[in-house]
Amino acid sequence: MGIFQAIHTEASQRMQKTLDTLKKDLSRIRTGRASPALLDGITVDYYGSPMPINQVANISIPDARLIVIQPWEKSMVGPIEKAIQASELGLNPQSDGNLLRLPIPPLSEERRADLFKNCKKTGEESKVAIRNVRRDANEKVKKAEKDKQVTQDELKKGVDEIQKLTDKYIKMVDDTLAAKEKEIME
């Protein structure tokens, strides 16, 4: 059963990576609440190198609708402000020359529906990726049977185990999407 264990472990790791990527992508989608994760993926030019905002500034959340960004160097206020305005967040930072305040406006019902539609699309892409991992794992199991490394009974058991793993990760994607929908609709 060693070959199945290796195939199962690899499939599990790839499915987990897909789920982690989904969670990271969903954390970047603006809900109506302030979160430092909103700024993930936004880089600012720091002496010629692109740096994430959280590596050139302190980010704090004083309340549910405000992000405060305090650059470690005063000269970074302008570049951070421009990077946020150029991002797809649709937020306008307010600067006092020393720090940036990023108010998070409440979402309209239409905007909430659009956001959730984008979340569902991202979730479907994750499910497709998980099913592709299942297909790859099943092909490896079938090849092992064809090469006489395993019996037909072991093949059936291996395919069943991979399907159980797939079902588990698909459910985790659905649960993650449900949690994000609840967050968006609040």
Domain boundaries, the chain: 2-27+108-185, 36-103
pLDDT digits (tens, 9 = 90+) for 173-186: 999 999 888 887 77
Which CATH architecture group holds 36-103? 2-Layer Sandwich (3.30)
pLDDT digits (tens, 9 = 90+) for 77-118: 888 888 888 887 777 888 888 888 988 887 788 878 888 888
pLDDT digits (tens, 9 = 90+) for 156-167: 888 899 999 999
Inter-residue contact 79 to 100 (CB < 8 Å) = no
Beta strands in the chain, from DSSP E residues, in sequence order: 43-46, 49-52, 57-63, 66-71, 94-95, 100-103
Inter-residue contact 130 to 124 (CB < 8 Å) = no
CATH number of 2-27+108-185: 1.10.132.20
Q: What is the pTM of this model?
A: 0.68
